[in-house]
A = this chain, B = another copy of it.
Amino acid sequence: MSLIVQKYGGTSVGSVDRIKAVAERVARGRQAGRKMVVVVSAMAGETNRLFKLASELSDTPDLRETDALVSTGEQVSAALLSIRLQSLGVPAISFVADQLKIATDSNHGRARIKSVECDRVVKELERGRIVVVAGYQGVDANGNITTLGRGASDLTAVALAAALKADACEIYTDVDGVYTADPNLCPRARKLRRVSYDEMLEMAALGAKVLQGRSVELARRYNVPLVVLSSFSDSEGTWVGKEDRSMEDVLVSGVTLDQNQSKITIAGVEDSPGLAAKIFGPIAAAGIVIDMIIQNASADGHTDMTFTVARDDLKRALELMRSIAADIGAAGVRHEAQVAKVSIVGVGMRTHAGVAAKMFNVLAAERINIEMIATSEIKVSVVVNSKYGELAMRSLHDAFVNGGAAVSSAETV
Expressed in whole angstroms, the Cα–Cα distance for A144 and B56 within the complex equals 32
| Residues 219-236 of chain A, each 1 if its beta carbon lies under 8 Å from chain B, else 0 | 000000000000000000
Most buried by B among A64, A80, A143: A80
* A15 vs chain B, min Cβ distance (A): 10
Expressed in whole angstroms, the Cα–Cα distance for A61 and B78 within the complex equals 13
Most buried by B among A64, A83, A93, A98: A83
Most buried by B among A53, A57, A93, A96: A57
Segment touching B, from A66-74, A193-201, A254-262, A315-323 = A66-74
| Residues 49-86 of chain A, each 1 if its beta carbon lies under 8 Å from chain B, else 0 | 01001101111111011101100100110111011101
Asked if A94 is an interface residue, CB under 8 A from chain B, the answer is yes
Q: Using Cβ atoms and an 8 Å threshold, which residues of chain B touch A143?
A: 99
Q: Using Cβ atoms and an 8 Å threshold, which residues of chain B touch A145?
A: 96
Given contacts A72-B75, A72-B76, contact A66 B54 (CB under 8 A): no
In the complex, which of the residues B58, B80, B83, B94 contacts A84, with contact meaning CB atoms closer than 8 Å?
A: B58
Asked if A20 is an interface residue, CB under 8 A from chain B, the answer is yes
Residue in B closest to A64 when the chains form the complex, CB atoms: B93
Contact A79 B56 (CB under 8 A): no
In the complex, which of the residues B69, B75, B86 contacts A79, with contact meaning CB atoms closer than 8 Å?
A: B69
Asked if A211 is an interface residue, CB under 8 A from chain B, the answer is no
Asked if A16 is an interface residue, CB under 8 A from chain B, the answer is yes
Contact A87 B68 (CB under 8 A): no
Asked if A19 is an interface residue, CB under 8 A from chain B, the answer is yes
Expressed in whole angstroms, the Cα–Cα distance for A143 and B144 within the complex equals 16
Expressed in whole angstroms, the Cα–Cα distance for A69 and B19 within the complex equals 14
This chain's copy number in the assembly: 2
Q: Using Cβ atoms and an 8 Å threshold, which residues of chain B touch A87?
A: 57-61
Interface residues on A, range: 35 or more
Contact A20 B57 (CB under 8 A): yes
Expressed in whole angstroms, the Cα–Cα distance for A61 and B144 within the complex equals 29
Expressed in whole angstroms, the Cα–Cα distance for A87 and B83 within the complex equals 38
In the complex, which of the residues B54, B68, B80, B96 contacts A78, with contact meaning CB atoms closer than 8 Å?
A: B68
Given contacts A58-B83, A58-B86, A143-B99, contact A65 B94 (CB under 8 A): yes
Q: Using Cβ atoms and an 8 Å threshold, which residues of chain B touch A65?
A: 79-80, 82-83, 86, 93-94
Expressed in whole angstroms, the Cα–Cα distance for A83 and B55 within the complex equals 9
Q: Using Cβ atoms and an 8 Å threshold, which residues of chain B touch A16?
A: 53, 56-57
In the complex, which of the residues B53, B58, B83, B93 contacts A61, with contact meaning CB atoms closer than 8 Å?
A: B83
Residue in B closest to A144 when the chains form the complex, CB atoms: B99
Residue in B closest to A101 when the chains form the complex, CB atoms: B143
Expressed in whole angstroms, the Cα–Cα distance for A96 and B75 within the complex equals 13
Expressed in whole angstroms, the Cα–Cα distance for A94 and B84 within the complex equals 31
Given contacts A57-B16, A58-B86, contact A80 B76 (CB under 8 A): no
Expressed in whole angstroms, the Cα–Cα distance for A373 and B84 within the complex equals 49
Q: Using Cβ atoms and an 8 Å threshold, which residues of chain B touch A75?
A: 68-69, 72, 75
Contact A68 B56 (CB under 8 A): no
Expressed in whole angstroms, the Cα–Cα distance for A64 and B94 within the complex equals 9
CB contacts under 8 Å to B, within A97-139, are 98-99
* A21 vs chain B, min Cβ distance (A): 12
Expressed in whole angstroms, the Cα–Cα distance for A305 and B134 within the complex equals 55
Residue in B closest to A78 when the chains form the complex, CB atoms: B68
Q: Using Cβ atoms and an 8 Å threshold, which residues of chain B touch A59?
A: 87
Q: Interface on A for B, CB 8 Å cutoff?
A: 16, 19-20, 50, 53-54, 56-62, 64-66, 68-69, 72, 75-76, 78-80, 82-84, 86-87, 93-94, 96, 98-99, 143-145
Could you give 13 example pairs across A and B, Cβ below 8 Å?
A: A16-B57, A20-B57, A58-B84, A58-B86, A60-B87, A62-B83, A65-B79, A66-B83, A68-B79, A69-B75, A69-B83, A96-B145, A98-B98
> Given A69-B76, A69-B80, list of 8 further CB < 8 A pairs?
A19-B57, A54-B79, A59-B87, A61-B87, A65-B82, A65-B94, A66-B83, A69-B83
